[in-house]
Structure 1
């Protein structure tokens, strides 16, 4: 009978009922239910994003992002061009049936056709090669098969010299003044103005991306020689210029308005992948850092930031004042509703229920907001009172109800015990994720302050002697030295200062011709213009930027000639435009971050040169403008149509394009490229502002704290880490009131960000926080950077008085002097006037030149 009366209900329905905990003796006692409900809600709602930061997205997604949805119809033109070309060779248009020698022969014929003067024939051959690079999608049945054929064909194309041929073709199209002037006269540039450039850039991009993907398994790849040859090729000039420099020049021309038809998305994607492949990604940066530190005699056992961040868990975002008020109002409404329901239920119960259970319900109702910690660490179970039937007495009812709920409580206890064990393990393993660090400058400052206090004098540049200092200071110095970290930048700056002090006696180390060094020398003359152009593109693609009539048009390679007429076409174009902007932001942020990282490892002043020009071009307010949006909406944006992504859009039967098919988005709860872009811009901002007080003050002036605090709502550990770093560096400038009202944020900073010993960032007592020194720091840095560039690359600051002088007479007398015909003709006259008739006191001459014979 008891089993028939038992009502099975989900856990969520018991939230309004009495909560009980079981102690060691099996007895139940009341606890605060609010704590358990909030715990369950956190488990359900506050899950971390399963995002894994990497050099790039998956290979399939990177290839799909190359094409806009509006240029889907052009894919069929590639297939038609290939079929027509095969018919002209009297062959069946079936690439997979041909032998490798036949395939190579066709590729060579297409390369010959690229050299003809007829542009129509030239571009037909280019489309045929593009179709081969796309994996001959007209002959395959699956995405996997298409990827395999792309890989095979790309290797054949590269071995035949297609990449270098298309670079030459790109140079021809870039210098096509007719196309540029035609586009400048148009009111609106569209897809039709960049058809040829998009074909050429697509071939170059596919070859580069396939090589990059294949290089991940370099040691086991059968195309190892091709990959290494390709890497060596792209860091050397094609003709008079590097390909990377050519692409940067295209971005500059586009931003200046002299070439509005350039397809910026494809240019930036190709530029990003060339830099990534030639310089290296995360693994290569880690290897280079360890190699250079080992060569400099520095410790190589430091943690890697990305690896540690990948293992960290995200923190719950601090609640803002508005959210707090809203939550309090919602809690108040919920409590009133629960009380009203209980009152109505109590009025319907019989007097026996009121005698047995009334006191307990009142206890729960009165203790719901007590906030006591009774029951912490115990197993929480639910007990629901049931109404006794007419055939049961009070005693029989109590016994049957207890027996009935005993088994249920055991099951629930097991479930909650598992959750409790997991929570205890997390708490047990909780600790600081970083080893604390201290700079040599901080140790020197600590010793100077201690000596002034206890001894009364200062020893310049002496961090060893501890004479006259008490034992606690000795222990403090030893602790600081155990955690002292010397960076590569400190060693490089010290070497530069030594060269500047002693230019005659200090030997400058030979330049290491690494890919980074070669690229820096190539882009050095025009690096400021390149940085301005990239930031202009980033500003135009940012979701917070407003369209202006005088701004650059980055939509030239996505807008069709004829605007859409139907609702579905309009939706498709709207999604495509947003997707286009997201891809551009992703590419630009990755390019800037890669260059900053590699320049910093190669030489600190190369990094500082690029950083200063980014700051001068307003990169800091631009990044803050980008982050000043609904960041959660940006992260969760679904600007993708899976059925229109390549190669899905050309393999198999295609569904009809309707509103329903357009609304079918990706299954992921976030956009990978948008999370990647946000992390990249945060890392760029950290690199520009770290240890630079004038730039940190820019963060304060532009009111970055509330913007960064809103970004903490994204539950991704790496993203939160870089936000917390930015908040930490400016906390001392934000004032006591801000610190008082943001104690939870400060607590998260303490638990997540590396500790710097002797850094009182949370109190604002740092002596370095002197605004009158900020401008002087930037000017001094600029002088050092200019001296480095002039001495190392431009050779314009050499003083003639420091040049070596050859004082030996033997080389002068033994030098081969070429005499002119006029001198030979009048030699006797010169000899008579200059030698015989002139008396020379040779002793005085030798004395004046200090030459001993």
Structure 2
């Protein structure tokens, strides 16, 4: 210890005690205060830490000597000596300066503690999990609205069932089960016989008889709710039910415990209908009723019923089909088989999916069709989910095409950062221009040197002139001069000649002298000198350079960093399936454009190969396999191609109606204004219908307003879910199918429409507001009108009905006037919680919470709002990814101020797609925007997956990308149209072989020379060409 005290003792003045040292150390190192115990256990990585720990260790010996020396207290007359001690600290400040600059740089331990402070996993205060759809019970409830007419139809189904059941079994009254025979007590054979009887009645030409049978069948499909509603699921029901198991239970299923038996019976009766071949008759009734609503009669001689009866028939048929689709979807998700899905896919052509696509396409042109778009959209979405599958099935298809020979993880288990062949092509261009003697590994695709895109070379788009200076415009530009130094307008190695002296100006001063310097983009023009330079006419020996550098130069080698970068790039290069498909179409298009393919060549060579013939002999792919799903996607695209544009336009119109309603309303409905009331998980505002989050005071919302808001949310959910499925499955099938849909979305103004919607909405508020009235939901309504209702349910329903009546009567009444603050509790409204508890959880750009997050996950939120908001951003990300023209559209609309709202919600998926949209447009934003949004840029680095060539922040050549954005968009559209015309000519209204006719060079030349078929007939061709002058040939 004495050896250490000699150099260290002057640094610690004897008058500084231990408290001063501790105070100084804590002031210098604010990070160490948070975790002092862990910091002391870390190894001493820097000299600063070692000095710090030594100072703290020496502080105790500094205070110890007065206690161990007994002779010192005897000098009482020396009390004047310690008195100047308070004046000694001023000389002490010169001691810290040598340590201060060293403390400015963070040590390794301090950096580790700082990184521990960054949230690796974003906080998830909401118990929300992104999935294809919500739970079975919630999806079934969203089908039924709060309208009185729809509730009357539900009651009418029970009445029709009672009449049919009693008439079939010869009973007096089966509505109350007094005769001892109801659905629960009947045998399985009785169930089957009755269902077959109802299915036979669906073929009746009399609308009244057909409607009675259909309503009774719908009641059976809804679980015979008069008998089963309000009863929990028994163990026997859970074992015999085909679509329900304990492993598939969700956290939200506890809210439907009282409806367990009804939900299980819904699934069982759906399978009972499918087992008796009842899916096709129900779909036939739906098809005929929908055609009649469109003004097309499938059976012209059939009698027509009243509009009310036709509306009831359409509702019953759609409800029956929706229940079947929802049970089939839940059956596949729970892993109980694909039996019901097979029955739906086995319907007669054109099938259920094309039925809804054609119907929605008709809605574009005929506005007189009075069909609920929300229900049609829900049917389309669920049919697509059942036919193709959800996002999990898409991942299985992508996994099937993934090359498993390539490493996806490193030695530490982290995913490898890969690079696309296009990025490697650009990197190769830069290295070749700086080091012409080095030939990096070849890319996967033989791209042209002047091309920076996989799309075909641009037509009528001349290359840019080589800059304003004589050395060319450098790298990154799409000019051929950057590929070889021998084709430069002025040789780079030759210095530019001095300009002639300009005459003096009026003031006697000459013009500004131009500066000539070497192009910094080409720092190494020629290969380095080697020992053979003298023989080849070099500049002399390298002895002087060897002496200066300290080692002998051994040949014209390349820097090790360049070699390592090229090898790393080549190893990490990965071409996706979409990129390979795009390259194949590019090659085929360029061959067609240059006349290398003739009419004898089949557009699809695979169909003519021997392997294809062998495959035809094989059995069809098994149900549910990736091959079967891709075949269904291909068939759907081929048939629906003429109606895809109309489909997209009608779906976008649904979002437009929502935006229009938000713009026109002035009361701030849907919880979008500043007076929003946060619904906490304890039900503070959810339990009070007068606090519905409309505005600051207790405004009462009528059932009609709440139902309109709920219906619009359900419609938006179905629209975005459909678009996500179309984009994901089309991209898994072929990249140009995906590009065609994105082009339709861009042409339909999807991007500005969603930005306007984000401007009008407060995302952090709408996700916390549920447009629900629990007592009017389907399962609660069935329990209230069943024979199993309890007294508690009756009291709750009576209170709900009473509040509904008061809301209808007092709709125009103004809010009560508060005369004093003390009278706020006398109005019957519960006192509000503190503002900190009423505010929804929020985070900043980096993910740090700005207010106190709840200790338990919030369960009282809007699943629909989360799902729809994420889909809005996800679709926009798919549209704008790697598309300069569309990203410039985001910048021109100033989307950053609207997208910023999504970063406040502590939900990982919502924040991720928001940050991806920011990453797309950052290269085209100015420096001022980047300086003011550095926190967003940091969040992009922390949460978005990086690439090996990740130059999104700097941008290699933004000007060239901007100039080529529109031509590249046009090239992509041309390639997409050519692909559709080549593979699906009938769908586009063209005859097969139209491309070969356009390619006939000699016919086109004859048409240019006005040698038409009318001038040259068959007879003239047989007798030769006597009258034609062909000297010019």
The answer to whether residue 735 in structure 2 is matched with residue 604 in structure 1 is yes
- Counterpart Cα distance in 1 of 2:916 and 2:139: 30
Pairs within 5 Å for 1:532-571: 532-542=649-659, 545-546=662-663, 571=702
Pairs within 5 Å for 1:21-420: 48-70=125-147, 71-89=150-168, 90-91=170-171, 93=174, 94-140=182-228, 141-142=230-231, 143-176=259-292, 194-218=311-335, 221=336, 224=337, 226-230=339-343, 232-233=345-346, 238-239=348-349, 241-294=350-403, 299=406, 301=408
Pairs within 5 Å for 1:820-835: none
Instruction: State the shift of 1:545 in Å.
Output: 4.0
- Counterpart Cα distance in 1 of 2:317 and 2:634: 28
Equivalence for 1:380: none
Find 1:639's aligned residue among 771, 782, 793: 771
Change (3 A) 1:171 1:298: farther
Q: How many residues align?
A: 614
> What whole-Å deviation, never above 9, does each CA across 1:338-373 have from its counterpart, x for those lacking one?
xxxxxxxxxxxxxxxxxxxxxxxxxxxxxxxxxxxx
Instruction: State the shift of 1:472 in Å.
Output: 1.5
- Counterpart Cα distance in 2 of 1:569 and 1:201: 33
Q: Tell whether the 8 Å contact from 1:608 to 1:785 is kept in structure 2 after alignment.
A: yes
Change (3 A) 1:464 1:125: closer
Equivalence for 2:495: none
The answer to whether residue 646 in structure 2 is matched with residue 455 in structure 1 is no
Equivalence for 2:502: none
Instruction: State the shift of 1:776 in Å.
Output: 0.8
- Counterpart Cα distance in 2 of 1:462 and 1:215: 43
- Counterpart Cα distance in 2 of 1:750 and 1:22: 30
Change (3 A) 1:545 1:456: farther
Change (3 A) 1:459 1:20: closer
Change (3 A) 1:230 1:469: farther
Where relative contact order (Cα < 8 A, 6+ residues apart) is larger, the structure is: 1
Instruction: State the shift of 1:526 in Å.
Output: 1.6
Equivalence for 1:324: none
Instruction: State the shift of 1:482 in Å.
Output: 3.3
Instruction: State the shift of 1:452 in Å.
Output: 1.1
Change (3 A) 1:669 1:464: closer
The answer to whether residue 408 in structure 2 is matched with residue 444 in structure 1 is no
- Counterpart Cα distance in 2 of 1:801 and 1:784: 16
Q: Tell whether the 8 Å contact from 1:202 to 1:266 is kept in structure 2 after alignment.
A: no
The answer to whether residue 663 in structure 2 is matched with residue 527 in structure 1 is no
Change (3 A) 1:123 1:793: same
- Counterpart Cα distance in 1 of 2:947 and 2:914: 17
- Counterpart Cα distance in 1 of 2:208 and 2:703: 31
Pairs within 5 Å for 1:654-673: 654=794, 655-656=797-798, 657-658=800-801, 668-673=859-864
Instruction: State the shift of 1:659 in Å.
Output: 6.8
- Counterpart Cα distance in 2 of 1:464 and 1:697: 28
Q: Tell whether the 8 Å contact from 2:127 to 2:859 is kept in structure 1 after alignment.
A: no
Q: 157-166 or 610-619, which moves further after superposition?
A: 157-166
Instruction: State the shift of 1:775 in Å.
Output: 1.4
- Counterpart Cα distance in 2 of 1:213 and 1:695: 38
> What whole-Å deviation, never above 9, does each CA across 1:475-534 have from its counterpart, x for those lacking one?
111222333221111111122223332546796334976111111112111211111111
Equivalence for 2:704: 573
- Counterpart Cα distance in 1 of 2:756 and 2:413: 32
- Counterpart Cα distance in 1 of 2:222 and 2:740: 40
Change (3 A) 1:474 1:777: same
Q: 47-56 or 721-730, which moves further after superposition?
A: 47-56
Q: Report the secondary structure of 1:496's partner residue.
A: helix
- Counterpart Cα distance in 1 of 2:193 and 2:222: 19
> What whole-Å deviation, never above 9, does each CA across 1:431-473 have from its counterpart, x for those lacking one?
9986423111111111111111222899996689999643211
Find 2:606's aligned residue among 500, 509, 512: 509
Instruction: State the shift of 1:195 in Å.
Output: 2.9
- Counterpart Cα distance in 2 of 1:536 and 1:192: 29
Q: Tell whether the 8 Å contact from 1:455 to 1:469 is kept in structure 2 after alignment.
A: no
- Counterpart Cα distance in 1 of 2:993 and 2:939: 50
Q: Report the secondary structure of 1:121's partner residue.
A: helix
Change (3 A) 1:602 1:46: closer
The answer to whether residue 574 in structure 2 is matched with residue 485 in structure 1 is yes
> What whole-Å deviation, never above 9, does each CA across 1:796-838 have from its counterpart, x for those lacking one?
43425989xxxxxxxxxxxxxxxxxxxxxxxxxxxxxx9xxxx
Q: Report the secondary structure of 1:539's partner residue.
A: helix
Find 1:744's aligned residue among 925, 931, 935: 935
Equivalence for 1:820: none
The answer to whether residue 778 in structure 2 is matched with residue 650 in structure 1 is no
Equivalence for 2:976: 785
- Counterpart Cα distance in 2 of 1:569 and 1:193: 35
> What whole-Å deviation, never above 9, does each CA across 1:197-255 have from its counterpart, x for those lacking one?
2211110000110111111233xx3xx46235235326xxx34x332122123223334
Equivalence for 1:496: 585
- Counterpart Cα distance in 2 of 1:802 and 1:255: 36
Change (3 A) 1:100 1:253: same
Instruction: State the shift of 1:98 in Å.
Output: 1.8
Change (3 A) 1:133 1:302: farther
- Counterpart Cα distance in 1 of 2:963 and 2:263: 60
TM-score calculated relative to the size of structure 1: 0.66
Q: Tell whether the 8 Å contact from 1:535 to 1:619 is kept in structure 2 after alignment.
A: yes
Q: Tell whether the 8 Å contact from 1:298 to 1:486 is kept in structure 2 after alignment.
A: no
- Counterpart Cα distance in 1 of 2:414 and 2:940: 12
Equivalence for 1:419: none
Q: Report the secondary structure of 1:638's partner residue.
A: coil
> What whole-Å deviation, never above 9, does each CA across 1:51-99 have from its counterpart, x for those lacking one?
1111110111000101001122321111001001122221463112222
Q: 753-762 or 90-99, which moves further after superposition?
A: 90-99
Change (3 A) 1:595 1:615: same
The answer to whether residue 875 in structure 2 is matched with residue 684 in structure 1 is yes
Instruction: State the shift of 1:757 in Å.
Output: 2.4
Change (3 A) 1:667 1:298: closer
Equivalence for 2:751: 620
Find 1:797's aligned residue among 994, 998, 1001: 994
Q: Which has the larger radius of gyration?
A: 2
Gaps spanning 5+ residues in structure 2: where?
1-32, 41-55, 60-115, 175-181, 232-258, 298-306, 447-526, 528-555, 613-626, 666-697, 784-788, 808-828, 831-837, 839-856, 986-991, 1001-1018, 1024-1033
- Counterpart Cα distance in 2 of 1:728 and 1:776: 23
Instruction: State the shift of 1:639 in Å.
Output: 0.5
Q: Report the secondary structure of 1:514's partner residue.
A: helix
Gaps spanning 5+ residues in structure 1: where?
1-18, 28-38, 182-189, 304-430, 549-566, 804-833, 841-853
Q: Report the secondary structure of 1:72's partner residue.
A: helix
